Copies of this chain bind each other. A is one copy, B any other.
Amino acid sequence: MKGQRPLAAEQIGEGNIPHLKNLQSDYDHLAEQLDRRGVDAAAVLKKVSGFTVAIPSWGTGRGGTRFAKFPIAGEPTNIHEKLQDCAVIQQLCAITPRVSPHFPWDKVSDYVALREEADDLGLGFDAVNSNTFQDQPGQAHTYANGSLSSTDAGARALAVEHNIECIEIGRQIGSRDLTVWVGDGTNFPGQQDLGKQLDRYLDSAAQIYSALPDGWRMLLEHKMFEPAFYSTVISDWGSSILAAQELGPKAKCLVDLGHHAPNVNIEQIVARLHRFGKLGGFHFNDSKYGDDDLDSGSINPHQLFLVFNELIEAELEPRNGFDPAYMIDQSHNVTDPIESILSSAEAIAQCYTKALLVDRGALHEAQRTNDTMMAFQVLRRAYSVDVGPIIAMARVNAGGAYDPIGAYRQSEWRLRKAQERRSVGLGAGIV
């Protein structure tokens, strides 16, 4: 550990002490239960200990809606403060060692220094996110009519240039993925030619693609609606994969769990993207209605488990490769963002762990023989397990807190920051 961490490691360790005996007892009993089913808990623990998910830099601040934003005292207002909060999260949960930055929101003058700053905090950088859905003050061409797909060649060029700049920044901070999500679309039937709008998007995207260094990927993120409310250019996984096919092998598809039509079977989309060699990564969150950006696993944790079930299958049957990027992407409108990310990272790890517990042999045999009930029972048996002891053991072993939220509250981090950081204004509300 090179640098100075925001929380005192000893305090975390001391806070764990009263829980260690019970943790060991719970873990041992679970290991015994799993052993009866032929599952080696130690092997699972090892895999879980290697699991990580990236934090979005913007997720460390309070989010809001077009109606309002209710800030909290002590929330971060620049990338340096955001990194500090991310370091707190990583210290406590030990599965979030990377931060996914967003530009221009996280712009600084010296990216080499930024990388060192992160490194000192025990953090690295994950996929870089470009932003062509907002105009910046003094911007030469507006994105009001779209960015990569705009009819305005100037706006397209600006958007392409910005993405290429994001790649350049990414090189300096150690990223290897560029995530491209655009707000382009229409609010009225007829507003744009739906075919030519995609042509323009693909033409612009190809220019970005050609600037990708070796070993980089371009992750295309689809979304059904919002901010455009009649159509969006990359509206669904079908549009996304066809675009990725046209762009080339470095282009992959990124699945945000909240960007789909109601009722859609997202785990099957994951399986389809893998089947056709284009599964690139995830933006984890949960939702009940639209792109609600709620905390991962708070609404439908079973769906999250089923997604991981497909991912484990994909890992076992890699076809043309399996290397998805895992990121959280949520909007923390009513909670302390640090607590929400801690809770979400745990929920994601739980679903991953449960998916590891699935008796693959029994599942495949039940599938082969059309023993539908038994196939489902195999999944349910894994899903029903309380995997808390495994995850807590992995966390404590890695220096994290037995009870991350409890330890965070005890640290009074936010209270201290409320005294140090400048306050954030009320969100105006755009209705």
Contacts and interface: CB of A to CB of B under 8 A. Distances in A.
A236 interface: yes
23 contacts: A63-B66, A67-B133, A68-B135, A68-B183, A133-B429, A151-B367, A189-B299, A191-B334, A192-B367, A195-B275, A229-B289, A229-B333, A230-B292, A230-B298, A236-B238, A238-B269, A242-B272, A261-B264, A297-B380, A299-B302, A300-B302, A334-B372, A343-B380
B190 A379 contact: yes
Interface in A191-217: 191-195, 198-199
Given A198-B272, A298-B189, A427-B430, A262 B261 contact: yes
A354 to B, nearest CB: 10
A388 interface: yes
Given A289-B263, A294-B229, A331-B431, A372 B68 contact: no
Number of identical monomers bound together in the oligomeric complex: 4
Contacts of A135: 68, 70, 426
A64 B151 CA distance: 21
Interface string A376-387: 111110011110
Contacts of A295: 188, 376
A368 to B, nearest CB: 6
Contacts of A143: 68, 70
Interface residues of A, number: 127
Contacts of A334: 144-145, 186-188, 191, 372
A301 interface: yes
A319 B196 CA distance: 11
Given A198-B272, A370-B151, A375 B190 contact: yes
B290 A290 contact: yes
Contacts of A26: 29, 33
